Amino acid sequence: MPPKVLYEKDGKKFLAKPGQDLHTQFGYVRKEDLKKAKSGSVIKSHKGHDFTIFDASFIDLYHRMKRDAQIIPLKDIGFIISETGINKKSKIVDAGAGSGAMCCFLAMIAKEVTTYDIREDFINIVKHNILLLGIKNIKIKNKNIYEGIDEKNIDLVALDLPEPWNAVKSAAIALKPGGFLVSYSPTIPQVMDFVEGVKKDDRLIFLKAAEIAEKEWDVDGRKVRPKSQTIGHSGFISIVRKIKN
Protein backbone atom coordinates (compact mmCIF):
# COMPACT_ATOMS: atom_id res chain seq x y z
CA MET A 1 0.00 0.00 0.00
CA PRO A 2 1.42 3.41 -0.91
CA PRO A 3 1.49 6.12 1.80
CA LYS A 4 -1.85 7.91 2.16
CA VAL A 5 -2.73 11.54 2.86
CA LEU A 6 -5.76 12.35 4.98
CA TYR A 7 -7.31 15.82 5.25
CA GLU A 8 -9.93 16.79 7.80
CA LYS A 9 -12.45 19.59 7.14
CA ASP A 10 -10.36 22.40 8.67
CA GLY A 11 -7.37 21.61 6.46
CA LYS A 12 -5.23 19.63 8.88
CA LYS A 13 -3.18 17.07 6.98
CA PHE A 14 -1.95 13.66 8.11
CA LEU A 15 0.36 11.18 6.41
CA ALA A 16 -0.49 7.52 7.01
CA LYS A 17 2.40 5.08 6.77
CA PRO A 18 1.81 1.71 5.07
CA GLY A 19 0.75 -1.08 7.41
CA GLN A 20 0.18 1.18 10.43
CA ASP A 21 -2.83 2.68 12.19
CA LEU A 22 -3.00 6.47 11.92
CA HIS A 23 -3.36 8.19 15.30
CA THR A 24 -4.67 11.78 15.41
CA GLN A 25 -6.32 14.14 17.89
CA PHE A 26 -9.59 13.25 16.12
CA GLY A 27 -9.23 9.55 16.85
CA TYR A 28 -7.36 6.77 15.11
CA VAL A 29 -7.96 5.21 11.68
CA ARG A 30 -7.37 1.47 11.40
CA LYS A 31 -4.73 0.22 8.99
CA GLU A 32 -7.30 -2.17 7.51
CA ASP A 33 -9.58 0.77 6.65
CA LEU A 34 -6.66 2.75 5.21
CA LYS A 35 -5.69 -0.16 2.97
CA LYS A 36 -9.12 -0.65 1.41
CA ALA A 37 -10.10 3.04 1.11
CA LYS A 38 -10.26 4.45 -2.43
CA SER A 39 -8.46 7.66 -3.35
CA GLY A 40 -10.85 10.62 -3.02
CA SER A 41 -13.22 8.82 -0.65
CA VAL A 42 -14.20 9.69 2.92
CA ILE A 43 -12.90 7.59 5.79
CA LYS A 44 -13.83 7.78 9.49
CA SER A 45 -11.76 7.60 12.64
CA HIS A 46 -12.88 5.41 15.56
CA LYS A 47 -14.52 8.58 16.98
CA GLY A 48 -16.54 9.07 13.78
CA HIS A 49 -14.49 12.03 12.50
CA ASP A 50 -14.42 12.33 8.69
CA PHE A 51 -11.25 12.51 6.61
CA THR A 52 -10.77 12.67 2.86
CA ILE A 53 -8.07 10.22 1.75
CA PHE A 54 -5.84 9.97 -1.32
CA ASP A 55 -2.45 8.56 -2.35
CA ALA A 56 0.52 10.65 -1.19
CA SER A 57 2.33 12.60 -3.91
CA PHE A 58 6.00 13.57 -4.08
CA ILE A 59 5.44 16.84 -2.22
CA ASP A 60 3.59 15.10 0.62
CA LEU A 61 6.52 12.75 1.17
CA TYR A 62 9.04 15.55 0.65
CA HIS A 63 7.69 17.36 3.70
CA ARG A 64 8.34 14.21 5.76
CA MET A 65 11.98 13.77 4.74
CA LYS A 66 14.52 12.89 7.39
CA ARG A 67 16.64 15.93 8.27
CA ASP A 68 19.91 16.71 9.96
CA ALA A 69 21.55 19.58 8.10
CA GLN A 70 19.33 22.65 7.53
CA ILE A 71 17.58 22.32 4.16
CA ILE A 72 17.08 24.98 1.49
CA PRO A 73 13.44 26.17 1.68
CA LEU A 74 11.06 25.53 -1.21
CA LYS A 75 10.76 29.26 -1.91
CA ASP A 76 14.49 29.35 -2.70
CA ILE A 77 14.53 26.07 -4.64
CA GLY A 78 11.69 27.43 -6.79
CA PHE A 79 13.70 30.58 -7.52
CA ILE A 80 16.74 28.55 -8.55
CA ILE A 81 14.63 26.39 -10.87
CA SER A 82 12.98 29.38 -12.54
CA GLU A 83 16.22 31.35 -12.95
CA THR A 84 18.14 28.45 -14.50
CA GLY A 85 15.33 26.89 -16.53
CA ILE A 86 16.31 23.31 -15.77
CA ASN A 87 14.20 20.64 -17.45
CA LYS A 88 13.94 16.93 -18.20
CA LYS A 89 17.12 17.07 -20.32
CA SER A 90 19.27 18.77 -17.68
CA LYS A 91 22.30 17.22 -16.00
CA ILE A 92 23.01 18.66 -12.57
CA VAL A 93 25.75 18.53 -9.94
CA ASP A 94 24.82 19.41 -6.35
CA ALA A 95 27.09 19.94 -3.31
CA GLY A 96 26.98 19.56 -0.34
CA ALA A 97 24.22 17.09 -0.19
CA GLY A 98 23.24 17.76 3.43
CA SER A 99 19.86 16.09 4.00
CA GLY A 100 19.28 15.77 0.25
CA ALA A 101 16.33 18.17 -0.10
CA MET A 102 17.85 20.13 -2.98
CA CYS A 103 19.07 17.15 -5.00
CA CYS A 104 15.81 15.24 -4.50
CA PHE A 105 13.66 18.13 -5.71
CA LEU A 106 15.92 18.83 -8.70
CA ALA A 107 15.89 15.13 -9.60
CA MET A 108 12.12 15.26 -10.08
CA ILE A 109 12.69 17.76 -12.90
CA ALA A 110 16.10 16.94 -14.36
CA LYS A 111 17.45 13.98 -16.32
CA GLU A 112 20.10 13.16 -13.72
CA VAL A 113 21.61 14.64 -10.56
CA THR A 114 24.96 13.86 -8.95
CA THR A 115 25.32 15.05 -5.36
CA TYR A 116 28.60 15.42 -3.49
CA ASP A 117 29.25 15.38 0.25
CA ILE A 118 32.23 14.59 2.46
CA ARG A 119 30.22 13.40 5.47
CA GLU A 120 29.09 9.78 5.66
CA ASP A 121 26.29 10.61 8.12
CA PHE A 122 24.76 13.07 5.65
CA ILE A 123 25.14 10.57 2.81
CA ASN A 124 23.22 7.98 4.82
CA ILE A 125 20.38 10.47 5.35
CA VAL A 126 20.31 11.25 1.62
CA LYS A 127 20.08 7.54 0.83
CA HIS A 128 17.16 7.20 3.26
CA ASN A 129 15.33 10.12 1.65
CA ILE A 130 15.96 8.91 -1.90
CA LEU A 131 14.38 5.58 -0.92
CA LEU A 132 11.44 7.34 0.77
CA LEU A 133 10.74 9.41 -2.35
CA GLY A 134 11.36 6.57 -4.82
CA ILE A 135 13.89 8.55 -6.86
CA LYS A 136 16.05 6.64 -9.36
CA ASN A 137 18.17 9.32 -11.07
CA ILE A 138 20.47 10.52 -8.25
CA LYS A 139 24.10 9.46 -7.87
CA ILE A 140 25.84 10.09 -4.54
CA LYS A 141 29.58 10.74 -4.26
CA ASN A 142 31.54 10.83 -1.03
CA LYS A 143 34.01 13.38 -2.36
CA ASN A 144 35.17 16.95 -1.71
CA ILE A 145 33.92 19.05 -4.62
CA TYR A 146 36.65 21.62 -3.91
CA GLU A 147 39.06 19.04 -5.30
CA GLY A 148 37.21 18.71 -8.61
CA ILE A 149 34.02 17.56 -10.36
CA ASP A 150 34.10 14.29 -12.29
CA GLU A 151 31.11 15.12 -14.50
CA LYS A 152 31.38 17.28 -17.62
CA ASN A 153 28.97 19.18 -19.90
CA ILE A 154 26.76 20.01 -16.90
CA ASP A 155 23.72 22.31 -17.12
CA LEU A 156 23.72 23.40 -13.47
CA VAL A 157 26.13 23.25 -10.57
CA ALA A 158 24.33 24.09 -7.30
CA LEU A 159 26.44 24.81 -4.21
CA ASP A 160 25.35 24.86 -0.57
CA LEU A 161 28.81 25.07 0.96
CA PRO A 162 30.63 27.10 3.64
CA GLU A 163 33.33 28.23 1.16
CA PRO A 164 31.69 28.19 -2.30
CA TRP A 165 34.49 30.28 -3.83
CA ASN A 166 36.73 27.22 -3.52
CA ALA A 167 34.46 25.36 -5.97
CA VAL A 168 34.37 28.05 -8.68
CA LYS A 169 37.22 26.60 -10.75
CA SER A 170 35.81 23.06 -10.55
CA ALA A 171 32.37 24.31 -11.61
CA ALA A 172 33.76 26.34 -14.52
CA ILE A 173 35.43 23.21 -15.90
CA ALA A 174 32.37 20.98 -15.43
CA LEU A 175 29.75 23.34 -16.87
CA LYS A 176 28.90 23.52 -20.54
CA PRO A 177 28.82 26.99 -22.16
CA GLY A 178 25.48 28.49 -21.18
CA GLY A 179 25.30 26.40 -18.02
CA PHE A 180 24.57 27.93 -14.62
CA LEU A 181 26.45 28.03 -11.33
CA VAL A 182 24.31 28.81 -8.28
CA SER A 183 25.56 29.35 -4.75
CA TYR A 184 23.31 29.37 -1.69
CA SER A 185 24.81 31.11 1.36
CA PRO A 186 23.39 32.34 4.68
CA THR A 187 25.70 35.38 5.01
CA ILE A 188 26.75 38.35 2.87
CA PRO A 189 30.52 37.86 3.39
CA GLN A 190 30.16 34.43 1.75
CA VAL A 191 28.37 36.05 -1.20
CA MET A 192 31.07 38.71 -1.49
CA ASP A 193 33.92 36.20 -1.54
CA PHE A 194 32.08 33.92 -3.96
CA VAL A 195 31.36 36.74 -6.43
CA GLU A 196 34.98 37.93 -6.24
CA GLY A 197 36.09 34.40 -7.07
CA VAL A 198 33.72 34.30 -10.03
CA LYS A 199 34.98 37.63 -11.40
CA LYS A 200 38.54 36.29 -11.50
CA ASP A 201 37.46 33.60 -13.99
CA ASP A 202 36.76 35.00 -17.47
CA ARG A 203 34.74 31.89 -18.37
CA LEU A 204 32.03 33.00 -15.96
CA ILE A 205 29.77 36.02 -15.60
CA PHE A 206 27.96 37.03 -12.42
CA LEU A 207 24.27 37.75 -13.06
CA LYS A 208 22.62 38.52 -9.73
CA ALA A 209 22.38 37.93 -5.99
CA ALA A 210 18.94 37.79 -4.40
CA GLU A 211 16.97 36.71 -1.35
CA ILE A 212 13.38 35.55 -1.44
CA ALA A 213 10.78 36.33 1.24
CA GLU A 214 7.48 34.48 1.61
CA LYS A 215 4.55 36.03 3.45
CA GLU A 216 1.57 33.78 4.10
CA TRP A 217 -1.89 35.24 4.77
CA ASP A 218 -4.83 34.05 6.86
CA VAL A 219 -8.11 34.28 4.95
CA ASP A 220 -11.34 33.87 6.93
CA GLY A 221 -14.23 35.41 5.03
CA ARG A 222 -13.49 39.14 4.90
CA LYS A 223 -11.08 38.92 7.82
CA VAL A 224 -7.77 38.81 5.99
CA ARG A 225 -4.37 39.49 7.53
CA PRO A 226 -0.75 38.35 7.22
CA LYS A 227 0.27 35.49 9.47
CA SER A 228 2.43 36.51 12.39
CA GLN A 229 5.24 34.19 11.37
CA THR A 230 6.75 35.13 8.00
CA ILE A 231 9.46 33.12 6.25
CA GLY A 232 11.91 35.96 5.69
CA HIS A 233 15.65 35.61 5.29
CA SER A 234 16.89 32.07 4.85
CA GLY A 235 19.79 32.53 2.47
CA PHE A 236 21.28 34.52 -0.39
CA ILE A 237 21.18 33.03 -3.89
CA SER A 238 23.96 34.00 -6.28
CA ILE A 239 23.40 33.25 -9.98
CA VAL A 240 26.36 32.84 -12.36
CA ARG A 241 26.58 31.67 -15.97
CA LYS A 242 29.37 30.13 -17.98
CA ILE A 243 29.82 32.07 -21.22
CA LYS A 244 32.78 30.30 -22.83
CA ASN A 245 35.20 27.37 -22.49
40 and 112 fall within a common domain: no
Dist CA 179 CA 229 (whole Å): 36
116 and 25 fall within a common domain: no
The pTM score is: 0.88
CATH number for the domain spanning 190: value is 3.40.50.150
Q: Check if the beta carbon of residue 211 is closer than 8 Å to that of residue 192.
A: no
111 and 176 fall within a common domain: yes
At residue 230, the pLDDT reads: 64
236 and 161 fall within a common domain: yes
What string of pLDDT tens digits covers the 245 residues of the chain?
678 999 998 889 999 988 899 999 999 999 999 988 999 999 999 999 999 999 999 999 999 999 887 789 999 999 999 999 999 999 999 999 999 999 999 999 999 999 999 999 999 999 999 999 999 999 999 999 999 999 999 999 999 999 999 999 999 999 999 999 999 999 999 999 999 999 999 999 999 999 998 888 989 899 999 887 766 678 999 999 999 99
Q: Check if the beta carbon of residue 54 is closer than 8 Å to that of residue 4.
A: yes
**Of 56, 71, 88, at which residue does a domain stop?**
56
Grouping H, G, I as helix, E, B as strand and the rest as coil, residue 150 is coil
At residue 244, the pLDDT reads: 94
Task: Give per-residue pLDDT as tens, 124-137.
Answer: 999 999 999 999 99
107 and 31 fall within a common domain: no
Query: What domain range is 188 assigned to?
Result: 62-242
At residue 11, the pLDDT reads: 86
Dist CA 241 CA 234 (whole Å): 23
135 and 209 fall within a common domain: yes
**Closest by Cα among 79, 128, 143, 132 to 106:** 79
HSE value, Cβ hemisphere, 13 Å, CA-based, for 14:
25
162 and 205 fall within a common domain: yes
153 and 49 fall within a common domain: no
For the chain, the domain total comes to 2
91 and 138 fall within a common domain: yes
